[in-house]
Amino acid sequence: MRVHIATDHAGLELSHALIEHLSAQGYEMVDHGPQSYDPLDDYPGFCIAAAQAVVADQEAGVDALGIVLGGSGNGEQIAANKVPGVRAALAWSEATAKLAREHNDANVVAVGNRQHTIEEATRIIEWFLAEPFSGDERHVRRIGQIAEYELERG
């Protein structure tokens, strides 16, 4: 699976740790930045680029998901969700990570580095990446309703 990752300065250490850890587990990691610490960086561009890459890969039939990181994960989730076709979910536990995939077919996970240790955040992301979408009709229908609204508003 290809995994696109982006962060702001608050998540940079976690991003580097995840790239190393997930690469060792066989994931193809694509880093959308930033590459170095800048406390004044602007995360939206990094997160939007990662989200766009997830959508492009999925449209091309590539098995891909995304990770966006920040202090809380909220702003990064908001930025990613501006990309048509993205369903970014803020995850803070095993249940929220798994349900985001199982029920919502989320294709991007947002995690707040200042809310978790690196070990906790890594587990949350591993749960997200490992959980398949259930494909249940009710979830497919609801996701379709969201996508329809997105297209109408586009």
Instruction: Give dist(CA 110, CA 133) in Å, integer.
Output: 17
Whole-angstrom CA distances from 96 to 31, 32, 84, 128 are 24, 24, 22, 9
Q: Catalytic residue, from 4, 9, 32, 76: name it.
A: 76
Is 139 one of the annotated active-site residues of the chain? no
Instruction: Give dist(CA 61, CA 76) in Å, integer.
Output: 25
Q: Catalytic residue, from 13, 21, 102, 103: name it.
A: 103
Q: What are the residue numbers of the active site?
A: 76, 103
